Amino acid sequence: AEVVILESPIDAGILAAASIRSLISQKADAVLGLATGSTPMSLYSALADSLRSDPLDVSKVRGFALDEYVGLPSGHPESYRSVITRDAVLPLGLTPGNIRVPNGDLATLETAGSEYEAAIRAAGGVDVQILGIGRTGHVGFNEPGSSFASLTRVKTLTEKTRIDNARFFSSPHDVPVHCITQGLGTIRRARHLILLAFGEEKAEAIAAAVEGPVTSSSPGSVIQLHPHVTVLVDEAAASRLA
């Protein structure tokens, strides 16, 4: 992987946004893999700024979110459908109908994974997958133990991840226990991976992903199996790299 250490999340966001902008200018219907959470916020806001000051047609851009909670009522403000709409689709001016999120409805859960995989295939695959990483080392919601061949499926969140995400809910008990997430095998098929991480609390996960053994105990180490990976980190997240 190419590892770039930047002064701040803002600088990393600007760099990642430039790469995505250049992709869209060459391929108007580019397929973006979208992450939610705090990490990609600087990227989405840098890209929104850039599109505002120098407009580019993004109406044909397509997007696939990494993951979704299972069983949240539709329209819940913290469903990843709501989050991706608020954080990326609206500020970037993407076409809402072009953006897919795994379907966490209980009624259709059995077929939701294979349908999502079929939709990604039909779109011609993901051109660039934006990734964050959890303290547990998860990418998407592939917690330690996830197979490198896994495809979109239902998973159980670890206690640590539920505690980390409790900040978005009124109590930790409200964080769903299950999620539906692209698998590590799905993520591996994207043509370019951009992994972002900021802060000391991500340092261990970044060291394991970039330099540790390739093992399903460190799901982020899947990046070592991929030919085109860009890792954008601040000093703190890079602090455990050799």
Question: Nearest Cα to 31, choosing from 228, 181, 191, 226?
Answer: 191
Residue 2 β-bridge partners:
230
Shortest spacing between CB 38 and ligand F6R, in angstroms: 4
Cβ-contact 236, 199 below 8 angstroms: yes
Closer residue to ligand F6R, CB minimum distance, 57 or 159: 159
Cβ-contact 208, 231 below 8 angstroms: no
**Helices within 123-192 (DSSP H only):** 159-165, 184-188
Closer residue to ligand F6R, CB minimum distance, 116 or 141: 141
134 binds ligand F6R (CB under 6 A): yes
Binding window for ligand F6R (CB under 6 A); candidates: 89-97, 116-124, 128-136, 184-192: 128-136
Query: Which of 61, 141, 206, 231 touches ligand F6R by CB under 6 A?
Result: 141
Closer residue to ligand F6R, CB minimum distance, 56 or 65: 65
| β 67-69/178-181 pair status | antiparallel
Shortest spacing between CB 148 and ligand F6R, in angstroms: 16
153 binds ligand F6R (CB under 6 A): no
Q: What's the rounded Cα separation, in Å, for the pair 127 and 37? A: 21
Question: Which residues would be at the binding site for ligand F6R (CB under 6 A)?
Answer: 35-39, 66-67, 132-134, 138-141
